Structure 1
Amino acid sequence: MTAEALAAPAVSHGRLVPVTVHFDDLDALGLLHNARYPVMVERAWGALWNARGLVFEGDWEAAGDFCNAVKEFTITYDAPVKAPGGYAVELWLDRLGRTGLTYGFRFCSADGTVTYARGTRVLVRLDPATLRPAPWSEEFRASGQDLLRPRG
């Protein structure tokens, strides 16, 4: 997926990334299972970073910025997803600190007009040898600047 494909349609801040809900993502009631939303958000972030050239290749010793841990996760479900198909996740950064970041997300219709869920997630960048907080790389920080939500 190219960076151009991840850029449309336009949103007021961040990026709208396409995701696909499959039949086996649905629960017994035919609704997107609550545990699948975080997976969809994680996949959207992976696609966004990969499109920007930031790729995890499976080596944890060299994982760099991909060596991180979730400190906090919040989600609010606004409306049920009732069918498989194309949807989107709007992604943005609320805060990009030295060793941590807070990102926001909105699971929505493919065109961004209907919101199904929204939330935040706090990540801490870790040193792979010590598992202690470590600073984000300059490459990562530069790549994320345009994702920062404007204050105000």
Structure 2
Amino acid sequence: MLPGKSARAEPPVRSDYRAGCAITTRWNDNDPYGHVNNAIYYLWFDTAVNRYLIEQGALDITGGDTIGLVVNTGCDYFAPIAFPDEVMARIRVDRLGNSSVTYGVGLFRGDEDVASAAGSFTHVYVDRANRRPVSLPAPLRSALEAIQL
């Protein structure tokens, strides 16, 4: 290992997460190297988190007074995903604050138990009109607590 470098993270497993959704890869997700482009993984993070919140009735993306703004993301890649793979995006809450939440997201290829990629995704919840942070509304907090580690 190089000086100043930390050891590579171990890939998580499905049971490390609390909820999730299936995602179908598309032909145009692949890059010239024959696997899904890294930028697509961030789209999947966003999809998994927001789908969960919408399904729980905790987020109204078109008319709600509170919206989540992404302030930080990160990803570790362990194995390639490529079209036409099916992907399971699994999520959990790693940190729950007054107006923010950090999600852990694992991306699993097909039925594999070990993640192909794992990342984090932080939302700060703000008032839709003035973009100032607000306390998490009770339904949102409840949905987040349900998937908190």
Q: Distance in 1 between matches of 2:123 and 2:52?
A: 16
User: Residue 16 of structure 1 contacts residue 112 of structure 1 at CA under 8 Å; is this kept in 2?
Assistant: no
User: Residue 45 of structure 2 contacts residue 121 of structure 2 at CA under 8 Å; is this kept in 1?
Assistant: no
Aligned match of 2:73:
73
Q: Distance in 2 between matches of 1:53 and 1:32?
A: 31
Which structure's residues are more often helix, by fraction?
1
Q: Distance in 1 between matches of 2:58 and 2:78?
A: 32
Percentage identity across paired residues of the two chains: 23
Q: How many residues align?
A: 136
Deviates more, 1:11-20 or 1:113-122: 11-20
Q: Distance in 2 between matches of 1:70 and 1:19?
A: 21
Structure 1 residue runs of 4 or more that deviate by more than 4 Å after TM superposition = none
TM-score, length basis structure 1: 0.80
Task: Give ranges in structure 2 of 5+ residues lacking alignment.
Answer: 1-13
Task: Output aligned runs, 1:1-152, within 5 Å.
Answer: 11-59=15-63, 63-65=64-66, 67-149=67-149
Q: Distance in 2 between matches of 1:99 and 1:142?
A: 13
CA 1:115–1:27: 2 relative to 1, 3 Å: same
Say which SS state the counterpart of residue 31 (structure 2) adopts.
coil
Deviates more, 1:44-53 or 1:124-133: 44-53
Q: Which amino acid aligns with 1:64?
A: D
Task: Give ranges in structure 1 of 5+ residues lacking alignment.
Answer: 1-9
Q: Distance in 2 between matches of 1:13 and 1:130?
A: 33
TM-score, length basis structure 2: 0.81
